[in-house]
Amino acid sequence: MTAEDRAEILRVRGLRKEFPGVVALDGVDFGLRPGEVHVLLGENGAGKSTLIKTLSGAHRPDAGRIEVDGETVQIRSAQDAERLGIATIYQEFNLVPELTVAENLFLGRQPRRFGLVDRRAMNRAAGELLARVGVDVEPGARMAGLGIARSQMVEIAKALGQDARVLIMDEPTAVLTSGEVDRLFEIVRRLREDGVAIVFITHHLEEIARIGDRVTVLRDGRSVAEVPAGTAEDELVRLMVGRSIEQQYPREPSEPGPALLEVRGLGRRGVFSGVSFDVRAGEVVGLAGLVGAGRTEVARAVFGADRPDEGEVRVDGRALPPGDVHAALEAGLGLVPEDRKGRASCSAPTSRRTSAWSRSAAPAAAGWSTAPASGAAPPRSPRG
């Protein structure tokens, strides 16, 4: 039986959710079948997170209906969602770093014997769950040392341990390297074969054809299209933004002037080395690379937020003293960090002449994969 033949496990009809001054969901229809990977696609602010929060019991819809197995349900809490077999994996995991993997997997429902936690039974059951996900982690290992990719897999194992039939993943690949994404996709495919229904949010368009079956596109709180995952990327972008990418980012011919920023042989021991590039007046230069490739670190070193061990940064032909933010600001450099809230100390540019954007500098890894190579796209945070 293919996914198309199966009855829907979940159906959302006309869902509406308002926050003060914002209509986050304005009539969303969405259906999910067992054994499919259904991608939720939309620009920042389109309503994706709000939709999954209503499914996981974090928000109550103002209007509309949620049906599970054809019956209208009320999801008022995380416990309600769990009882209905709906598990959500947020970007901030719900795991306790001080506890072991097994303790996290069975938090609040440890197997007991004579009133005591039966550690052996718990570790055995944890081992079985971890094996089902195919993650190589000891049940007795502390959560804290695991790293993001394996923590995510433990979250998936936890969802399976709660007999989740619907697994919702909010941008699971945003924090993974490409090898880790491959690994995650293997797991997702295995779950799909087991009949789990998966809601998958991603900003990486090329992942949609790789892992998805169907795509629901949200725009301004409305579900505007449901298309097969094989839909061409430029069509997906058109549906997402309501017009074509050429219209959204019209290419304005520009005549770059002289080099304003020159980076020569910049390096920080053990972090990156030999980085050289020019940014000319009137041009946008992308810094592409995988998560962990050192893009953020390069931007910080250029700005002086970290002290480089070698190389030189020149603005207008004048070398900046290394590791001196004040001199960088003085020279007209600005840094908009990727985590604006967390690192607000390096705030907005004081000059309109030159600014290093850590986000816009990495369109391929952080934003849309089809972002134009140069000259146009503004920075776009993938998080909403």
- List residues binding ligand ADP (CB under 6 A): 19, 22, 24, 42, 44-50, 384
Q: Which residue has the tokens 């695991």?
A: 146
Closest to Mg ion by CB, 174 vs 259, is 174
* Contact in structure between 245 and 370 (CB atoms under 8 Å): yes
**Binding-site partner at residue 267 among ligand ADP, Mg ion, none, CB < 5 to 8 Å by type:** none
Q: Name which of residues 50 to 89 contact Mg ion (CB under 5 A).
A: none
How far is Cα 348 from Cα 265, in angstroms, rounded to an integer? 26
Residue nearest to ligand ADP (CB): 384
Q: DSSP state, 100? A: B
How far is Cα 297 from Cα 295, in angstroms, rounded to an integer? 5
**Binding-site partner at residue 294 among Mg ion, ligand ADP, none, CB < 5 to 8 Å by type:** none
**Binding-site partner at residue 47 among Mg ion, ligand ADP, none, CB < 5 to 8 Å by type:** ligand ADP
Among 31, 33, 49, 161, binds Mg ion (CB under 5 A): 49
* Cα–Cα separations (whole angstroms), residue 371 to 4, 34, 61, 64, 249: 33, 33, 34, 35, 9
Among 14, 64, 349, 384, binds Mg ion (CB under 5 A): 384
How far is Cα 312 from Cα 318, in angstroms, rounded to an integer? 10
How far is Cα 275 from Cα 306, in angstroms, rounded to an integer? 15
Rounded to the nearest whole angstrom, what is the least distance from the CB of residue 13 to ligand ADP in the complex? 18
Closest to ligand ADP by CB, 64 vs 384, is 384
Closest to Mg ion by CB, 51 vs 181, is 51
Which of 45-53, 74-82, 281-289, 305-313 is the region at the interface with Mg ion (rule: CB under 5 A)?
45-53
C-alpha triplet 89, 14, 12: angle, nearest 5°: 40
Rounded to the nearest whole angstrom, what is the least distance from the CB of residue 251 to ligand ADP in the complex? 27
229 CB burial (10 A radius; 0-12, 13-18, 19+): buried
Closest to ligand ADP by CB, 132 vs 222, is 222
Rounded to the nearest whole angstrom, what is the least distance from the CB of residue 10 to Mg ion in the complex? 19
* Contact in structure between 306 and 325 (CB atoms under 8 Å): no
Closest to Mg ion by CB, 49 vs 355, is 49
Closest to Mg ion by CB, 52 vs 160, is 52
Closest to Mg ion by CB, 17 vs 48, is 48
Q: Give strand pairing partners of 89.
A: 169
How far is Cα 48 from Cα 25, in angstroms, rounded to an integer? 9
Phi, psi of 159 (to 5 degrees): -60, -40
How far is Cα 331 from Cα 348, in angstroms, rounded to an integer? 14
Closest to ligand ADP by CB, 44 vs 351, is 44
* Cα–Cα separations (whole angstroms), residue 192 to 41, 156, 189, 229: 19, 13, 5, 15
Rounded to the nearest whole angstrom, what is the least distance from the CB of residue 261 to ligand ADP in the complex? 32
Rounded to the nearest whole angstrom, what is the least distance from the CB of residue 49 to Mg ion in the complex? 3
Q: Does 382 bind Mg ion (CB under 5 A)?
A: no
- CB hemisphere CA count around 88 (13 angstroms): 23
**Binding-site partner at residue 44 among Mg ion, ligand ADP, none, CB < 5 to 8 Å by type:** ligand ADP
**Binding-site partner at residue 54 among Mg ion, ligand ADP, none, CB < 5 to 8 Å by type:** none
Rounded to the nearest whole angstrom, what is the least distance from the CB of residue 384 to Mg ion in the complex? 3
Contacts to Mg ion by CB under 5 A: 48-49, 384
